[in-house]
Amino acid sequence: MSNKLMLLLAALAAVIAGVAFFWDAGDGVPDDLAYGNGRIEAVSVDIATKIPGRVEAVSAREGELIEAQAEMARIDDAQLQAQLLRAEAEIASAQSQVAAAEAAVAQAQAQLVLSQRELERADKLVAQGHASAEEHDIRQSNFEVAKANLSAAQAGQRSQERGVDAARAGAEEIRTQIADCVLRAPSFGRVLYRLAEPGEVLGAGGKVLTLLDLSDIYMELFLPAAQAHRIELGAEARVKLDIVDVAIPARVSFVSPESQFTPKQVETPSERDKLMFRVKVRVPSELVRAHIDRVKTGIRGVAYIRMKSESPSEWPEFLRKLPPDYVPEDQPKPTPSASPAQ
């Protein structure tokens, strides 16, 4: 058999398998159910450094489940700790300057009170004819100078207080950088890759780990416009994977507002039917946690979505078998029985 004939037979077999797959997926499906093939997906997040530094420790291992905000790695912060000590010393120095400025204000206020009293006495003496106008002008000048000195002292005090605020802000910035040295998981997930080891020096944005976010497990599929416009956010869905014999309940979490791929020229009705819209169905997080050891991304299957209809039909028989521990949202969840009184 020639290579050309073998390639032709292989291509024909692939086409037949694809037709059979879609025939089986849509066999017995009511008209108000849209369906499309896809695969289980989750967002991967790169855990990276915000500031340059040396990796001190990497506590997370590949394949390990990580809770949200759990520590995954640590960057050496010895230099930042030294900078923090210096910043705290600068705060203390600035506070002592504020104390000196407050003393200067108190002195200027006392001088102002004294000059005001001397001016009042000069006014009386001039009125009685016991003092000259020149003496009155000197007392008036001293009073104005005292007022100006008080204003200057108060301005200096405010400036020193702002200096304390600036020193505190500098210290808080360093504390934030120290906190950034601890790399934490942004969400519940599983460690996919470990990209750095202790002792390595990384620049800002250097990747240390890759985390698979298991708080948002979804399947993405593409549906024609005739079906996409009948799908609402939160619509009920079922996901049937190739490797399990149960239907996984899900909800529509996203419907694209624009078509994802379009022919270059849309002129005929048949070409307009090719407009496809991206739709995402999300698996409930409590169901994901209940079966976390079996959750694997990349597994292929078919998602079935209930479209808006005046008389919704029942789910087909092959989509009624749900996980045994799943409680539908419209049913009350079981509560643990109270232990008998001792």
Q: How does DSSP assign 148-186, residue by residue?
A: HHHHHHHHHHHHHHHHHHHHHHHHHHHHHHHHHTEEE-S
Q: Is the Cβ–Cβ distance between 213 and 77 less than 8 Å?
A: no
Between CA 47 and CA 73 the distance in angstroms is 9
Question: What are the structure tokens assigned to 264, written together?
Answer: 């270059």
Question: What are the structure tokens assigned to 185, written together?
Answer: 């998981």
Q: Is the Cβ–Cβ distance between 41 and 218 less than 8 Å?
A: yes
Provide the residue ranges of all domains of the chain, joining segments of one domain with +: 31-42+216-319, 46-77+182-212, 78-179
For residues 125 and 90, the model is more confident at 90
The structure's pTM equals 0.69
- From residue 147, give the alpha-carbon distance in Å to each of 106, 110, 152, 261: 12, 11, 9, 77
pLDDT above 60 (res 232): yes
Percentage with pLDDT > 70 across the chain: 83
**Stretch 29-35: mean pLDDT, rounded?**
89
- Max CA pair span of the chain: 137
Fold annotation for 46-77+182-212: OB fold (Dihydrolipoamide Acetyltransferase, E2P) (2.40.50)
**Stretch 17-31: mean pLDDT, rounded?**
57
Question: What are the structure tokens assigned to 250, written together?
Answer: 């899900």
pLDDT above 50 (res 17): no
177 phi/psi in degrees, rounded to 5: -65, -35
Rounded to the nearest 10°, the torsion over CA 280, 285, 290, 293 is: 60
pLDDT band at 217 (very low <50, low <70, confident <90, very high): very high
pLDDT band at 101 (very low <50, low <70, confident <90, very high): very high
pLDDT above 90 (res 23): no
pLDDT in tens, 40-54: 999 999 999 999 999
Fold annotation for 31-42+216-319: Elongation Factor Tu (Ef-tu); domain 3 (2.40.30)
Write down the residue that tokens 């108000």 correspond to.
32
